[in-house]
Structure 1
Amino acid sequence: MAYQFSIDDVAFLASPDGAAALDSAAALPLTDASLLKDLPALRKHYGSSDGALVETVRNRRRAADKLVDADRLLLTDIALQQATPTAVAAHRAADIAKRYPGAVVHDVTCSIGAELLAFAGHDGIGGVIGSDIDPVRLAMASHNMTAHDLDSRPAVRTSWQLLRADALAPCSRGDVVIADPARRTARGRTFRIDELDPPLLELLAVYAGTPLAVKCSPGLDYRTLRDRFGFEGQVHLTSLDGGVREACLWTEADDQPERRASVLRTGAGGTISYEVTSDDSDDLDDASAPETGDWIIDPDGAVVRAGLVRHYAHRHGLRQLDPQIAYLTGSTVPAGERGFRVVERLGVAERALRSALAAHGCGSLEILVRGLDIDPDKLRRRLKLKGSAPMSLVLTRIGRSGVAFLCEPGVRAPH
């Protein structure tokens, strides 16, 4: 079980003595294997604060690939799991600044303040308010905002304030409200609308008439939300570096597309992004026979979950292998996307697959499956690979027939 921080822990960690103690702790391995060796030294110098020091250092290390300047943050394990990645938060801040120039943004479930930092760091946002019911997380948010505010870099450009409040009890006149309901129950992660905390439908009711963005799991059944509960806003799916991170519900979206997918990719040159929306054309020639091109393209998960595969295909001159399947085909791979060059088209009978793989000397195999009830790991074991060449196998269906495409290893086209 993760360490449970107290207000006293946060006060110590945020102090000059706590900062020095964290530097000392950060010099230790603090791995699962080394903890028994590392703890006595920490306990000798810092007494009962050893647990808070260990948990903070380990959380900072886990946050390094998710949050900018993680080595300065105070955070809990659960808060880190739910924290919005910095690149996604920055993208939302730019979105808000474009939709509502100069708006005061109120994050009513601000937790440790990870997203507040992105809002306060954007010139187009007029002010930032954060509130949370948890006093420990709020104290951590105060430290995190102050630590950046005092830094020589202009990380915080606009005014901010923190309040302790229940998300379902409006306590400000913010122009835009942000909420991130907890998506974990005693049974683990949940995708059910009625199990979020605070409840999604109550949030939508409480802030009716105010622009509201609610961050939800990418597995959210937004179609049921529309059909059963009458949600009329925008559903915005966002992915980062190939992983779908969230489905954000925007309520005040009269002039916005109904569905939207943002694809973010980070690199040495910063964050590269593109968007596909339901306002884009989805005109594809479904009547023509789906000839397989040189490449199979697997669209980004945000595009797939947002139901925008046809729109994406139209933009890049691609075709669907089957109208009900998200795999696309064409003569080239769109910039930044991953494609598989087709070597051979086969049926899905294992004997034929085994023979073809042996003929190509395949020794390692990536298997992608859509539209068929096949377990890739179990199939790989049954194929008994004996060669040395790496290959990819795309398994899907066209109409009612299963089909396999033996491909060269997947490659990502340069931007």
Structure 2
Amino acid sequence: MGYRFTRADIAYLGGDAGRAALVAVGERPLGPATLLGDLESVRRDHPAHAAALVETVRLRRRASAKLDAADWLLTDDALQQATPSPVARHRADRLAGREVHDVTCSIGAELAALHRVCPAVIGSDLDLVRLDMAAHNLAGAPNVVLAQADALRPCSAGTVVIADPARRADGRRTHDPAKLQPPLPDLLSVYRDRDLVVKCAPGLDFDRFTGPEPSRGADGYAGMSWDGEVEVVSLDGAVREACLWSRGLSESGVTRRATVLRGDGSSWTLTDTEPREIPERGPGEWIVDPDGAVVRAGLVRHYAARHGLWQLDPRIAYLTGDSVPAGVRGFRILDRLEFREKPLRAELHRRDCGPLEILVRGVDVDPDALRRRIKPRGGTAHTVVITRIGRTATAFVCATPPVG
């Protein structure tokens, strides 16, 4: 759960004495081997604020891989849910020039990106501690206004509304839209006549509520309907989030979008308005595993059509072709065999297999357990792609491409 900050903590940490203490505590390792000793020293030097100081330093260190937040104040929960800075900047760029109200602003991760490209930004939240943190984190941003408000009680007009419902219920992460805080069905209903952007976990079943007809099931999707865009975003190969964009904020005809961001600042995007017709052919020279954003957005065929690829099987997301898209990691096929463990092990040993990467899709196989049973001991790296083609479980032995 992490330390529970108070408003008094924020006032201290944001003041001169607190900033100086954070610099001093930041010089300590605070690692597993030294933590007890470090805590004793910090308690001796700062008896009234030791826990808040140590927690803040450790959170800032964790945040450095996700946020441009060297001097920020954070909570553990807020950091876990905060949008990575490159993703927040991407979303802000889509809203450049608009006035925006983040109705679940928390510690201000979205506001930090928005205020640079939007003329006026409002941030609101029910949690006064997080609002105090946001005020600290956004100090010096004259076009940002903060307020305590319930996300489900509109208090602005004429702005684009952004919401990021908390994805934990009863202490556990949830994919039930009705258990988000605030509940996703309520958000969509309250702001149905506004330009709306809702950040969601990519694990939601978007097929259950997208399109003109609402879901009629008796679960968390009941009565939900979304006829706008669903965008799935990845960063450096990892799917980070999905985002709902109302129709007024999206290009005409777009209902699904995959956006792939890289840490070097490059990016590309794919939508369902692009062609999706691809040939039906046997395996080519290469296997390509599309970026997770493409898979989650349901745009595998569109990606294949863009790059002259086709599917190994129409129900499976692995693609194949005689070349690999630029900048993409492909697997050159060396051999193909029906998946049975004993022949596969013999083939890999024959090839002097050492480091072994196993990719599985459409077949019930545990890659780690299979690798332990194969016991590769050679010197040549290989990748095995196990998938289903028709009704046959098939293993492709491939050369392992270099990483990066």
Would the TM-score normalized by the shorter structure come out above 0.5?
A: yes
Distance in 1 between the 2:174 and 2:158 partners? 29
The runs of at least 4 consecutive aligned structure 1 residues that moved more than 6 Å come to: none
Conserved 8 A contact 1:210-1:252? no
SS of the residue corresponding to residue 112 of structure 2 reads helix
Query: Corresponding residue for 1:91?
Result: 90
CA drift of 1:256 comes to: 4.7
Could you tell me which of 222, 232, 237 is aligned with 2:206? 222
Superposition deviation, residue 386 in structure 1:
2.1
What is the aligned partner in structure 1 of residue 218 from structure 2? none
1:401-412 to structure 2, matched below 5 A, reads: 401-411=392-402
Equivalent position of 1:276 in the other structure? 270
| Inter-partner Cα distance in structure 1 for 2:56 and 2:177 | 32
1:160-197 per-residue CA deviation (whole Å, 9 max, x = no partner) reads: 11001111111112420000000012251111111111
Which residue of 1 is the match for residue 193 of structure 2? Answer: 209
CA-to-aligned-CA distance 1:241-286 (integer Å, 9 cap, x gap): 111111111123472501001000112xxx1110110101101123
Equivalent residue for 1:258, pick from 255, 258, 262: 255
After superposition, the C-alpha distances for 1:17-57 in whole angstroms (9 at most, x for unaligned) are 11110000100001133111001221122112010011101
The equivalent of 1:309 in structure 2 is 300
1:175 aligns with 2:155: no
Which residue, out of 107, 118, 132, partners 1:112?
107
> In structure 2, what is the Cα distance between the partners aligned to 1:174 and 1:128?
12
5+ residue gaps, structure 2, are: 216-223
**C-alpha distance in 1, partners of 2:73/2:326?**
38
Q: What is the aligned-residue RMSD (CA, Å)?
A: 1.4
Q: What secondary structure does 1:48 align onto?
A: coil
* Greater percentage in helix: 1
Q: Which moved more, 1:182-191 or 1:81-90?
A: 182-191
In structure 2, what is the equivalent of residue 247 of structure 1? 242
- Within 1, Cα distance between the matches of 2:138 and 2:41? 31
* One-letter amino acid of the counterpart of residue 34, structure 1: T
Whether the 8 Å contact between 1:129 and 1:174 is mirrored in structure 2 is no
Structure 2 distance, partners of 1:261, 1:57, is 35
Q: Choose which of 275, 287, 290 in structure 2 pairs with 1:296.
A: 287
What is the deviation of 1:384?
Answer: 2.0
AA partner of residue 137 (structure 2): N
Q: What's the offset of the Cα at 1:344? A: 1.2
SS at match of 2:332: strand
1:345 aligns with 2:336: yes
Corresponding residue of 1:152: none
- Deviation of 1:230 after TM superposition, in Å, equals 2.5
1:139 aligns with 2:132: yes
Deviations 1:74-130 (A, max 9, x none): 000110000000000000011112xxxx211100000000110000122xx221110
Which letter does structure 1 place at the counterpart of 2:200?
Answer: C
Percent pairwise identity? 53
Aligned match of 2:39: 39
When normalised by structure 1's length, the TM-score is 0.92
Q: How many angstroms apart in 2 are the aligned matches of 1:372 and 1:5?
A: 47
Offset of 1:412 from its aligned partner?
5.7
Matched, 1:129 2:122: yes
Find the counterpart in structure 2 of residue 51 from structure 1.
51
Q: 2:363 aligns with which of 357, 363, 372?
A: 372
Letter of the structure 1 residue corresponding to residue 64 of structure 2: A
The correspondence of residues 175-194 of structure 1 with structure 2, limited to 5 A, is: 175-194=159-178
Gaps of at least 5 residues in structure 1 are 150-155
Contact 1:362–1:388 (8 Å) recurs in 2: yes
CA distance in 2, matches of 1:117, 1:409: 40
Paired residue secondary structure (1:33):
coil
